[in-house]
Amino acid sequence: MRVLAAGMMRNILVDHARKRAARLDHERVNVTFGQGGDGLGTEPIDLLAVEEALRELAKLHERQGRVVELRFFGGLEVEEVAMELGVSVRTVVNDWRMARAWLSRELRGGGTS
């Protein structure tokens, strides 16, 4: 149920950003991908760019994409994500760390795609 809710929230936010982008420039929202200095921080991020990057991440590493979706769009804690995906907490922590680093690089224009 939480997985479905996270996916629905992602779709709602991205659809809203797409509609608004048709009238304005891209939708920007304050997001947090990490705590302290280990993530993207709380800076304005283009939600459509996040969606595009998340789709690319899911192609490269599906589980990391799911972890981001559940944590970012679903608001789940690490332990809850582990239960939903049937993996260890350590696996989720590692996936979350790697995904944040990859997304940070992509969203700041440092990626190869």
- For residue 13, the enclosing domain spans 2-107
User: How much is the pLDDT for 38?
Assistant: 41
Of residues 60, 54, 59, the one with CA closest to residue 7:
54
- For the stretch 82-104, pLDDT in tens is 999 999 999 999 999 999 999 98
In a domain, 80, yes or no: yes
In a domain, 93, yes or no: yes
User: How much is the pLDDT for 39?
Assistant: 46
In a domain, 30, yes or no: yes
What H or E segment, with its residue span, contains residue 53?
helix 47-60
Inter-residue contact 3 to 84 (CB < 8 Å): yes
Task: Please list the ranges in the chain whose pLDDT falls under 50.
Answer: 34-40
pTM of the predicted structure, to 2 decimals: 0.69
In a domain, 113, yes or no: no
In a domain, 20, yes or no: yes
In a domain, 112, yes or no: no
Structurally, how many domains does the chain consist of? 1
In a domain, 58, yes or no: yes
